[in-house]
Amino acid sequence: MDSASLEPSLYTVKAIFILDNDGNRLLSKYYDPGLYPSIKEQKNFEKNVFNKTHKADNEIAFLEGMTIVYKGSIDLFLYVVGSAQENELMLMSVLNCLFDSLSHILRKNVERVCLLDNMEGVYLVVDEIVDGGVILESDPQQVLKKVNYRADENPLSEQSVAQHITEKLALTSNVLQSAKEQIKWSILK
């Protein structure tokens, strides 16, 4: 193993996905583009993970060089994936935050039908917890505060989702503009 792979990194989470009790994908976000680049590879990985975990009583699995923490709820399975050397407690804190946040916005009905009826809120929660593989928040109260701040104006309406997307795009635009400026000044030197 090379020393670069053992160095600490902010990019803790490789993927988050939620499957139903048949192993079908309901939500998935992969944060490492080199991990499973195609949807087919992602779904194969998810199927392998599901087959290994859906009947197990554990909370942690190791598969294909990945550390996977998971939790089942009625007819759902929630997964958080990290690299083989990732701290399981860090991944578990993300999983618990995800579950507790979803439990709150789904009014304690963490099940397939409620999840599908509230996908906008589910995506907002996931985006508040992890961004690009970096853990932003592991306290469900803080996640709910950020999501509910928008939800109070219009309960998870199209407007709040659009506002969330607009904020992300504005941030991305600012980063790109800053990069352009740095490149321009490095060329002019």
Cα–Cα dist 157/137, whole Å: 23
Question: Which residues are CB-contacts of 53 (< 8 A; sequence separation ≥ 6)?
Answer: 61, 68, 70, 77, 79
Full-model pTM: 0.74
For residue 19, list its beta bridge partners: 25, 77
Length reported for the chain: 189
Tell me how many domains the chain contains.
1
Q: Which of 18-32, 119-133, 147-161 has the lowest mean pLDDT?
A: 147-161
Range of the domain at 124: 9-156
Would you state the pLDDT for residue 154? Answer: 44
185 is a domain residue: no
Q: Is residue 161 part of a domain?
A: no
Q: Is residue 68, in this structure, part of any structural domain at all?
A: yes
Residue pair 29/35 in contact by the 8 Å Cβ criterion = no
Q: How far apart are CA 12 and CA 133, in angstroms?
A: 6
Assigned token pair, 130: 């992890």
CATH number of the domain encompassing residue 39: 3.30.450.60
Residue 152 has a pLDDT of 44
